[in-house]
Structure 1
Amino acid sequence: MSKINKTQVNFFLFSGLTNDGTLVPFLFILFTLVYTLTVVGNSGMIALVHTTSRFHSPMYYFLSYLSMVDLCYSSVVTPKMLCDLWVEIKSISYNGCVIQLFFFAGLAVTEALLLSGMSYDRYAAICHPLRYNSIMTRKKCWGLVLLASSIGFLQSSVQTSCVFSLHYCGPNNIDHFYCDIPPILKLSCSKTFPCDTVTVFFTCSCGIGSVVTILISYCLIVASILGIKSAEGRQKAFSTCSSHIMCVSIFYGTVFFIYLRPPTAVFEKSDKVVSVFYSVMIPMLNPLIYSLRNQEVKKTLIETILKPY
């Protein structure tokens, strides 16, 4: 009997988004539309930035990389989720789960750190406008992007290795629609305290560290904006930050709701809703927020669409 209990599972089963078959067509159409908009919006933003000379500046360079991360981030989860809506047995291989978790965790932290880097860019643009180009050089932009990616995938390697170094002898039912750390740890036959500690450490160090950087940047930005005498000047300065503030608020609000809570025995429906939002919806919202709230981007998009061939 002890030998059977020590058998390692070789695949996992997802509970999926819903058990209500009547909702499947609606959810499939909704998330297919969301994923289509994600692919079109982020690909379009990348193409727009790299083909339009007026967008060859640090802010848009960061935006294009954010779009690339969002495109990959969404693609790690959404296609599999859409396929699983139509099948009764929603399975993923053990190695497939390892790969999905690795890329999801790596891209999520990369996005968090990239948003932090974008706040520094806004600080330099508003607080030091005359020295902006000398501060935000192409080399520094590359350095910040490389740093965000390196830290993102380094911590992902550590967390993924920790999670899958544990023993999983059954059951193998993940109460979620993709491989994520909290529901996977609930299945382990081993003590999960070390992995719980690692998760909290990286969530705090990467997430809260990034938030602190953003808050400091915006404290300095607000102080600088309040020093502008004209109301029009203050409004213009604030408008350059509003899109970034919205993206940061949505992303961090949902991520902290999931990861900075005491572990519970049951993964609630509200947890799935929040997970859908930050894993599927946010990658679609980011390019929409930046394009709809940026007059220059909107103008260029309209010109591109109406441009005769």
Structure 2
Amino acid sequence: MKILITGAAGFIGFNLCKSLMNLKSYELIGIDNINDYYDSELKYDRLIELGIAPKKASSFNTLSSSSLNNKFKFVRVSLEDKTSLVKIFKDFQFDIVCNLGAQAGVRYSITNPDTYVNSNIIGFLNILECCKDFKVKHLIYASSSSIYGLNKEIPFSTSSTTDKPISLYAASKKSNELMAHTYSYLFKLKTTGLRFFTVYGPWGRPDMAMFLFVDAIIKGKPIKVFNNGDMERDFTYIDDIVEGIKLVIDKKTKNSLYKIYNIGRGKSIKLNHFIEVIEKRLGKKANKQLLELQPGDVLKTWADTSSFRKDYGFEAKTGVESGVTSFIEWYKKYYKQE
């Protein structure tokens, strides 16, 4: 089975590649544009972890084979580059596409809207077109809990209203779901959208709360706590997210051509409690800088994962205490803080 994973140098894409690359039943191609939204060195180090070397950016512009597994290959390309995407699809004839590549970040979308239109909408359209033209059997793509926006029905259900997003990032993800529905309806393309809830863990993004808090506390810097910490998030550990995606890849269901699922821990946790767990694991108190709720932020997220559990047997297994410990261990090792 040939699988394309977009965003392969990103947090979730990297972890999925790492989990799949040694399985005999898969041939993997990873793509990523390695943009500068956050430290590109982290992205290159993820690729090196997957056996893609050397580290120089220019070396990633053409197809590179992994030194760890000849069934994993990587090419640096943007989703907006339709000509290159068409060539990749034509050369490899993928069975499944996992579209995890996108411009992330709620707050960044407020000041850099063009980036989100280019990557998340035009880029996703190119993926849909290639999947249609090259008869891909199944497109699995990343959506987001942020699309629930001003919805006040808790926990968030896939049957809940999602027509009031409060950031362009959320709007772009909602657009992806609508676009996928159109292609499923018109061209019988099987699509499955996964609404991720606050993913964290080793190799995580530096702009996410987990990373920002640990980094600042270790360095003795203040942490920014929005809405005085009176927010709740359904923090979901990366290994649970990866296992959920793998279930969708592996398991054949009788579902309709178009499906949407929540994929989260299924438990909402106070931000202040999350910080307390980090403090306990680090053995060091945080210097909190209490701030107002930021534009684009919602007060609470909580995933109703019942439909995903029913169809795929999904069950998130990693609690916050265990997940925070794993992240801190990785952070200290990667940044030589031990």
For the aligned pair, the TM-score class normalised by the smaller chain equals under 0.3
TM-score by length of 2: 0.24
Higher relative contact order, structure no. (Cα contacts within 8 Å, ≥ 6 residues apart)? 1
Q: Which has the higher helix share?
A: 1
Q: Which has the higher strand share?
A: 2
TM-score (norm 1): 0.25
